[in-house]
Amino acid sequence: MTISSIEQALPHADPLIKLSAFDTPMAIAAAIIISFVGNAVVIGMPMLVGALADNLDFSEQQLGWLASADLGGMFLASIMTSMVITRVNRRHLALAGIAIAIIANLLSAQFHDFNTLFYTRVIAGIGGGICYSLGVGCLAGTHHTARNFSILMFALVAINAIELYTFPILSDAWGINGIYYTFCLAFSLCLLAIPKLPSFKEESSSVSAEASPSSSIKIPSYLPKLCLAAVCSFYITIGSFWAYIERAGVDAGLSDEFITNTLTAGTLFTLLGCVVATWLSRRAGQSKPLLAALTCMTGALSLLAMGINPIVFIIGNFAFNLMWLFVDIFQLGTISNLDPSGRYAALIPGAQGLAQTAAPSIAGYMLAQNAGYGSVMMLGAAGSVGAFIIYCVVYAKLKKIAPDVAD
Contact 73, 125 (CB under 8 A): yes
HSE of 167 in the Cβ direction (CA atoms, 13 Å)?
A: 30
Mean pLDDT for 98-115 is 93
Contact 290, 327 (CB under 8 A): yes
Distance CA 295, CA 393 (A): 16
pTM: 0.72
For the cut 90, the answer to whether the pLDDT of residue 184 exceeds it is yes
- Assign residue 123 the CATH number of its domain: 1.20.1250.20
Tell whether 160 is covered by a domain: yes
Tell whether 170 is covered by a domain: yes
Read off the DSSP letter of residue 85: T
Higher per-residue confidence, 17 vs 64: 64
Tell whether 10 is covered by a domain: no
Contact 170, 382 (CB under 8 A): no
Number of H helices and E strands in the chain, helices first, is: 17, 0
Per-residue pLDDT of 234-283, as tens digits, reads: 999 988 887 788 889 988 999 888 988 888 787 767 777 777 776 776 67
Tell whether 9 is covered by a domain: no
Tell whether 14 is covered by a domain: no
Domain around 226: 20-406
Distance CA 153, CA 145 (A): 12
Contacting residues for 302 by C-beta, under 8 A, at least 6 apart:
377, 378, 381
Cα–Cα separations (whole angstroms), residue 238 to 13, 45, 270? 34, 11, 14
Domain count across the chain = 1
Distance CA 290, CA 293 (A): 5
Per-residue pLDDT of 334-384, as tens digits, reads: 887 777 666 787 788 778 778 877 888 888 889 888 888 999 999 999 999
Contact 126, 353 (CB under 8 A): no
Contact 142, 23 (CB under 8 A): yes
For the cut 80, the answer to whether the pLDDT of residue 395 exceeds it is yes
Highest mean pLDDT among 7-21, 202-216, 236-250: 236-250
HSE of 284 in the Cβ direction (CA atoms, 13 Å)?
A: 13
Of the pLDDT bands very low, low, confident and very high (cuts 50, 70, 90), residue 88 is confident
